[in-house]
Amino acid sequence: MGRKTKNCSFPSCRLPAVSLAVWLGALLVLSGCGGKDHSLRVGAALYTQDDTFISAMAQNLEGIVREAESETGKKITLFIADGKSNQSTQMDQVDRFLARGCDVLCVNLVDRTAAAVIADKAEAEGVPLIFFNRQPVAEDIQRWDRIYYVGADAKESGALQGALVLEAWEADRETLDRNGDGVLQYVMLEGEPGHQDSLLRTEYSIKAVTDGGVEVEKLANETANWNRAQAAARTAQWLEEFGEGIEVIFSNNDDMALGAIDALSNMPRSRWPLIVGVDATAPALEAVAAGQLYGTVHNDGIGQAQAMMALALALWNGEDPAQAVDLWEGHYVWLPYRAVTLENLEEFLAE
């Protein structure tokens, strides 16, 4: 019953060449789907809830579901599963969502190479699938016309982060270029290896600085897996090795930037390098306010959650998703990044 109710609400469901009215009438009787009297069930699978940005996204989704319920007067049930960084755990969770009759799946992949298997499961059940935050390759997104990706362009976040550093260098080179050699010495705290946000932020942040005509020297780079404690440990090592030779700490996300700040906490502020992150999480905004973090790049988790819910509702109602969200190439919703410093911090604190 759950299955029928689901399928008949989507235009993609293939009806034999019998009068549409006859079929619709029969389906109404069989499944009661015309009245949409069952609740919308959304299953959201997270790669791990032990990630500041992702757990905030889960909260955003919960909040937006409540808003959507009161706006539409429809009951919406949101199931959230924590994949605990294990792809086979996440596979089981996806199977369970499908068995429970979820109408839409939202998947934050543990391992992006698992996208095809999940896509095929969803298609076999006729359940639309929204990937988010961890972007599958284009071929996997194109496997079926009901597969979407909601996220933000990693290159853009890197470029904005680099632009912040370039601006700071241009505005106050005397202070930033501690050894006065005209070259910007930096270290890079990287997110998970192979994650496009790690790769592209690392590349495009530095590109923005060098495109701005500043010569750079990389002292060290290492992964800290998006994690604050790991980043604190790496930074502590680098401080031993390079001391005040580090002029800028680039971090692929805010949690790792906060880890760097933890490692610096015993050093007088006047001797700290400049630190930049990405995400604009609540604790990172506090660190900007306290002058510890020079800047960050706002990763719009609320916008992403809103887009996911708008898509889910449109698909469930059998409406054209392109009317509900800004859809690029029929599959993608891109939310813009925005740079944050002390100057425009107020706008973000208000959110």
Q: Give the residues lining the site for Ca ion (CB under 5 A).
A: 177, 179, 181, 183, 185
Q: CB 296 → Ca ion: shortest distance, Å?
A: 23
Nearer Cβ to Ca ion, position 245 or 283?
Answer: 245
Q: CB 54 → ligand GAL: shortest distance, Å?
A: 5
Nearer Cβ to Ca ion, position 35 or 180?
Answer: 180
Structure tokens that stand for 18 in this block: 């019998």
Residue 299 binding: pick among Ca ion, ligand GAL, none (C-beta 5-8 Å cut-off by kind): ligand GAL
- SS3 state of residue 224: coil
Nearer Cβ to ligand GAL, position 125 or 156?
Answer: 156
Dihedral angle computed from the Cα positions of residues 12, 16, 17 and 21, in that order, rounded to the nearest 10 degrees: -70
Q: Which residues contribute to the site for ligand GAL (CB under 6 A)?
A: 51, 53-54, 133-134, 197, 226, 253, 278-279, 299
Nearer Cβ to Ca ion, position 174 or 346?
Answer: 174
Side-chain-facing half-sphere of 124: CA atoms under 13 Å: 10
Residue 54 binding: pick among ligand GAL, Ca ion, none (C-beta 5-8 Å cut-off by kind): ligand GAL
Spatial distance between the Cα atoms of 297 and 280, rounded to a whole number of angstroms: 6
Q: CB 144 → ligand GAL: shortest distance, Å?
A: 23
Q: CB 112 → ligand GAL: shortest distance, Å?
A: 10
Q: DSSP string spanning 33-71?
A: GGGT-SPEEEEEEES-SSSHHHHHHHHHHHHHHHHHHHH
Element (H, E) at 296: strand 295-298
E strands present in 8-145: 40-46, 76-82, 104-107, 129-132
Spatial distance between the Cα atoms of 137 and 344, rounded to a whole number of angstroms: 35
Spatial distance between the Cα atoms of 226 and 219, rounded to a whole number of angstroms: 20
Residue 179 binding: pick among Ca ion, ligand GAL, none (C-beta 5-8 Å cut-off by kind): Ca ion
Nearer Cβ to Ca ion, position 180 or 193?
Answer: 180
Q: CB 55 → ligand GAL: shortest distance, Å?
A: 9
Q: CB 190 → Ca ion: shortest distance, Å?
A: 22
Residue nearest to Ca ion (CB): 177
